Amino acid sequence: MGLGEHLEDLRRRLIYMVLGLLPLAGVALYFASNLVDIILAPLRHALAHEGLSEQVQATGPLETFGGWFKVALVAACVAGAPWIIYQLWKFIAPGLYSHEKRFAYVLAPLSVVLTIVGMLVMYYIMLPMGLRWLVNFGTTLVPATVAVAPLPEGMLLPTPLPILAADPPNPVVGQMWINTQLHAIRVALPVPSEVSAKSVVDLVANITGTNPAGGGIEVRSMPLTRPGVISQQYRFKEYLDLFFGLTIAVSLAFQLPVVILLLGWAGIVTPQWLSKYRRHAVVGAMILGVIINPAPDPVSMLMMVVPLYLLFELGIVLLRILPASRLAGDKPDMAGDGGGP
């Protein structure tokens, strides 16, 4: 094909990509709230582990909507990655020889598997450990000094609030308790509905808590914080940026075996040469682990260094098993396969 035909084929493939992602985007928007809950789970667990409220902040009117839409968009792209790769392959494949396609048949599945493994390691191991260290560090960095003095004469402290692991089923307006799961003080307040507000009797029933079915009671929260000068209250947008940035960085780092295979097939490195530089690989994994890992504590960095070095060893093994000569064959088909777009 000429240049114009290639450009027309590229335009067509891009249109197919977008049309294929549209239904996935609709599904992702429907489940975006669930996805946001899954993404926030590591941060919420880290905050709860330190005895803090699990709430995150949104300091702008568009921050929550923007984060929700961003999660849906990324989810649609991730779910549609096979379709995107297929369209790219249909555009590139006609220009490849048969023996060159065999290299892609190895690299594409390997890259997908490594990406999935990297995301799982980031979500279940590296991110929770890093967040726990960061939350604890921020809470204890500058401890607050609280003065203690005897009560004035004749003053009594109010009755202690009940400490509960969950909210009571039918609270009465004005009742207060401490929810240990949410790390917050909970208060039942009257919120009369439009229907119940029309009647004084119904309004009084809502306020006294005798008419909970009327929708007149709402439980509000006051988050509890640990005594520290620096309050740990994280923004929704900043956490999403950290989550997606870390996901991309770890996914790219886990492509190390793919890079080793490409360098080996190009004749730049050999398994024997790589084996001699294992110590250097350990140092490189440590440096990369320090750069990628969100927390500088030794344990979480070790959780990144060990997988990176194992990926280096995996690259050597794959290069021994799958040398370029084995994939290309003794007599590669230089005439191409004539496949169409």
What are the structural domain ranges in the chain? 3-138+235-328, 163-223
pLDDT at 101: 83
Q: Give the model's confidence band at 276: pLDDT under 50 very low, under 70 low, under 90 confident, else very high.
A: very high
Q: Which residue has the higher pLDDT, 61 or 191?
A: 61
In sequence order, what are the residues at sequence separation of 6 or more whose Cβ sits closer than 8 angstroms to the Cβ of residue 163?
177, 178, 180
Q: Give the model's confidence band at 192: pLDDT under 50 very low, under 70 low, under 90 confident, else very high.
A: low
- Residue-wise pLDDT for 70-94, tens only, equals 999 999 999 998 899 889 888 888 8
Contact 323, 264 (CB under 8 A): yes
Q: Give the model's confidence band at 270: pLDDT under 50 very low, under 70 low, under 90 confident, else very high.
A: very high
**Three-state DSSP class for 161?**
coil
- Maximal C-alpha separation, the chain: 100
pLDDT at 170: 87
**Three-state DSSP class for 164?**
strand
User: Which residues in 217-251 are b (16+ Cβ under 10 Å) and which e?
Assistant: beeeeeeeebeeeeebebebbebbebbeebbebbb
Q: Give the model's confidence band at 113: pLDDT under 50 very low, under 70 low, under 90 confident, else very high.
A: very high
Q: Give the model's confidence band at 235: pLDDT under 50 very low, under 70 low, under 90 confident, else very high.
A: very high
Provide mean pLDDT across the span 111-133. 92
Task: Report whether pLDDT(339) > 70.
Answer: no
Q: Which residue has the higher pLDDT, 259 or 290?
A: 259
Which residue from 111, 90, 96, 114 is spatially nearest to 262, judged by alpha carbons? Answer: 111
Q: Give the model's confidence band at 326: pLDDT under 50 very low, under 70 low, under 90 confident, else very high.
A: confident
* Cα–Cα distance, 91 to 159 (Å, whole number): 73
Provide mean pLDDT across the span 299-318. 89
Q: What is the mean pLDDT of the chain?
A: 84
The distance of Cα 115 from the centroid of its chain, to the nearest Å, equals 14
In sequence order, what are the residues at sequence separation of 6 or more whose Cβ sits closer than 8 angstroms to the Cβ of residue 261?
106, 107, 110, 315, 318, 319, 322
Provide mean pLDDT across the span 49-62. 90
Beta-strand pair 184-190/217-223:
antiparallel
Task: Return the bridge partners of 217, or none.
Answer: 190
**Quick one: which H or E segment has residue 334?**
none
pLDDT at 27: 94
Task: Report whether pLDDT(37) > 90.
Answer: yes
pLDDT at 25: 93
Contact 274, 282 (CB under 8 A): no
**Three-state DSSP class for 339?**
coil
Contact 243, 131 (CB under 8 A): no
Burial of 122 (0-12, 13-18, 19+ CB in 10 A): buried
Contact 141, 230 (CB under 8 A): yes
pLDDT at 193: 58
Contact 309, 282 (CB under 8 A): yes
pLDDT at 211: 45
Task: Report whether pLDDT(63) > 50.
Answer: yes
> pTM, whole model, 2 decimals?
0.81
The two tokens of residue 187 are 């208060």
Q: Give the model's confidence band at 254: pLDDT under 50 very low, under 70 low, under 90 confident, else very high.
A: very high
